Homo-oligomer: A and B are copies of this chain.
Amino acid sequence: AAQVHDATKRYGKGDSTVMALNGVTVGFQKGRFTAIMGPSGSGKSTLMQCAAGLDQLTSGRAFIGSAELGRLSEKQLTLLRREKVGFVFQQFNLLPTLTAGENIAFPLRLAKRRPDKAWMDQVVQTVGLADRLDHKPSELSGGQQQRVAVARALVERPEIIFADEPTGNLDTHSSGEILSFMQTAVRDLGQTVVMVTHDPGAASYADRVLFLTDGRLTGEVMAPTV
């Protein structure tokens, strides 16, 4: 569903250059749940953003389906993302003037698709926010805001969901609900999930775990158990 070849990403210039990605080649197969772990600053968010078309590689190639991201215009890239990609940001990126409910439905509005009401309800139930939909982000706890960000990515039922530490602010019960739901979306609906996490418990829901260190892949575990 998505892949990168020989991907590099450089930030800064001269002495203060940081090679956030330093030669990464990886494929995310359709209908699979991949977890990515690694030290803080190892390049996980950078890899996710480049694979999802939210940022550009310095060198190397990135694909979603058969479309090469580096060859698309800004407009084509935006349309591709809107149609195929859901993204849960490490820092949520919610719209502060919209309520939780409006934030969740927002990508569907943008894509001019009508929310499937039954699906919307199921997603809202899963993230446990049914009684908080009328509140704005500033009136929600940290974990509730994170759950709004997760619901927003799930409700579009995109082909591929990139989730950057989606359970970092959640207790075991709330994370379990979300992780099982993503697992079900992969096994029953054929969606593809790529999830960054620091929690081995969360990684154990995935089919495969990749390890990133200093911008390079340094390991892989299939069908992990905690």
Chain A residues engaging chain B, CB cutoff 8 angstroms: 11-12, 16, 37-41, 44-45, 90-91, 128, 132, 134-135, 139, 141-144, 146-147, 164-165, 168-174, 198-199
Please report the C-alpha to C-alpha distance between residue A11 and residue B128 in the assembled complex, in whole angstroms.
Answer: 19
A141 surroundings in chain B (CB, below 8 A): 40-41, 44-45
Q: How far is the CB of A38 from chain B (nearest CB, A)?
A: 7
Q: Which of A16, A44, A169, A199 has the most CB atoms of chain B within a 10 A radius of its CB?
A: A169
| A172 CB to nearest B CB, Å | 7
Q: Which residues of B contact A144 (CB under 8 A)?
A: 40-41
What residue in chain B is nearest A173 (Cβ atoms)?
Answer: B39
Asked whether A169 lies within 8 Å of B174 as measured between CB atoms, the reply is no
Q: Complex formed: what's the CA distance from A174 to B171 in Å?
A: 20
**A37 neighbours in B (Cβ, 8 Å):** 171
Q: How far is the CB of A64 from chain B (nearest CB, A)?
A: 23
Give complex CA distance A17, B147 in Å.
21
A94 to chain B, nearest CB (A): 11
What chain B residues lie within 8 Å of A164 (beta carbons)? Answer: 142
Once A168-B168, A198-B169 are accepted as A-B contacts, the answer to whether A39 and B142 lie under 8 Å apart by CB is no
Closest approach, in angstroms, between the C-beta of A137 and any C-beta of chain B? 10
Closest B residue to A20 by beta carbon equals B141
Contacts of A170 in B (CB 8 A): 40, 198
Q: In the complex, which residues of chain B have a beta carbon less than 8 angstroms from the beta carbon of A90?
A: 142, 169
Give the residue of B41, B128, B171, B199 whose beta carbon is less than 8 angstroms from that of A143: B41
